[in-house]
Amino acid sequence: MNTEIEALCQNRVFAHFYQICQIPHGSRDEKALSDSITRWARSIGLEAEQDEVYNVLIHKPASPGYEAAPPVLLQAHMDMVCEKAEGVAHDFTKDPIQWVVRGDELSTGGRTTLGADDGIGVALAMAVLEDDTLAHPPLDALFTVCEEEDFTGAERFAPEKLRSARLINLDHTEDNVVVCGSCGGMRADFLRDVDWKPIPTGWTAWRLSVGGLRGGHSGDDIHRGRGNANILLARLLLAAEQESDLLLAEIRGGSFRLAIPREAEALLWLPPEKAAAVQVKCAALENTFRREMPVTGERLKVTFAPAEAPRRGTVPGPVLDALTLLPDGIFQMDEAIPGQVDTSDNLGEVYLDEDGLRVVTEIRSAQPSLRTYLYQKMERLAALLGGCCQCSVLYPSWEFRLHSPLRQTYSDAYQALCGEPPAMTTVHAGLEVGYFFDKRHDLDAIAIGPNCRDFHSPGETLEISSVKKVYRCLCAALAALGE
């Protein structure tokens, strides 16, 4: 631990976050972190229980004089999205997350995701739980698993254990904004068989790839105009198809449906005399892409180079039909909230291999009816393209409620500390709060968190001063909720 990190960890929130970052905790790999938090809670005299999916529920009695107040639930998820930059050797199943401190910014230096989503939320709650100087009502803290994959933790959490009707979710990314609702969504997979053909004599294999994109969160960043590597690869292949006969051997694009794809590549076979023309066309498109993305495209790179490939190929038409016609990006804006996305789709992962073509997408919508309609459009398109669609990981929205005493109490505490009230909004991202509303219909909930940028990408950063600000506001709100 270097001097800057050691100094930062004098703050208890960052001390907890640092320890979280030493333990692998990707989705479906949270047991070690769950065990560690459970041991920690019991070691400081708190009641802690771990369920069959490794959710952790911790109880802390009220501070003296606050025993009669209704309890408050603090909630965050333990798992993180595991993304790394091209060429970085990092094993998320065993390697700790490396910190880089630059001024007020905490990151990994662009190597991997930091895991502030939502490790910092867990750390904020742990700091509250261990501080016996705070004034607060009875507290529960729930740390869930698999939020980034299929919401297993929130879905499987036993409703009878939800004793509080006041919930503060700690999974937001702007310290001056209180979230009051979130979208629902689903995973939708497009599947299609392909016909494999033998490779003509004399044809050569090439790797066509696009990388260096910024990526980001498939909900929070879907409106920012950042390139989707899978879409750009399809455009490159369209250009190659115009120049030459070709056969596709493999495609691998994106790595997680909840992240806007940063890299994608295809292995293809070409007549040798056509390779130079394809290369020229791809180089021209690289310049076009950079012009289209003047802010985030400065590191974009297209490569076209000889490669080894399986000696099989499929004609590009059906594959490109799917990649160019399946929806990606904004489907409908929110009529009531200017600038807010209502419904979108992220074409997050593409696989062409011996099993055929698979495209993995994430549909998000504040309106279940629009989510269903977008999936129905994909189903019908899939049928026209000779494939099919499969739906999974369906999660509920958290609907905005006009009246919220919890929201008002937090706003008052924030204004007293910061001199102005926070903004109120709903977000185009899935939060676990929707599941808890389904379990307890009288729930009053908000979501808060410190300033974070570029979730779900190696460029993820966390603002240090903002973490401290959110902790002060959270503690002040808890004191007010106990009065």
Pair 269, 307: CB distance under 8 Å: no
Catalytic residue among 29, 147, 189, 221: 147
Using CA atoms, how far apart are residues 332 and 242, in angstroms rounded to an integer? 33
Q: Extract the runs of DSSP E, i.e. beta strands, from 152-278.
A: 166-169, 177-182, 184-192, 204-211, 216-217, 247-253, 259-260, 264-270
454 is catalytic: no
Catalytic residue among 29, 79, 140, 250: 79
147 is catalytic: yes
- Helices assigned H by DSSP within 350-429: 368-384, 405-418
**Dihedral angle at the C-alpha atoms of 313, 317, 322, 323, nearest 10 degrees?**
80
Give the pair of three-digit tokens for residue 188: 């939708």
Pair 175, 469: CB distance under 8 Å: yes
CB-based contacts of 415-422 (< 8 A; 24+ apart in sequence):
416/476, 417/469, 417/472, 417/473, 417/476, 418/176, 418/469, 418/473, 422/176, 422/177, 422/178
Residues with Cβ < 8 Å from 86, sequence gap 6 or more? 211, 212, 263
Using CA atoms, how far apart are residues 171 and 181, in angstroms rounded to an integer? 12
* Residues assigned a catalytic role: 79, 147
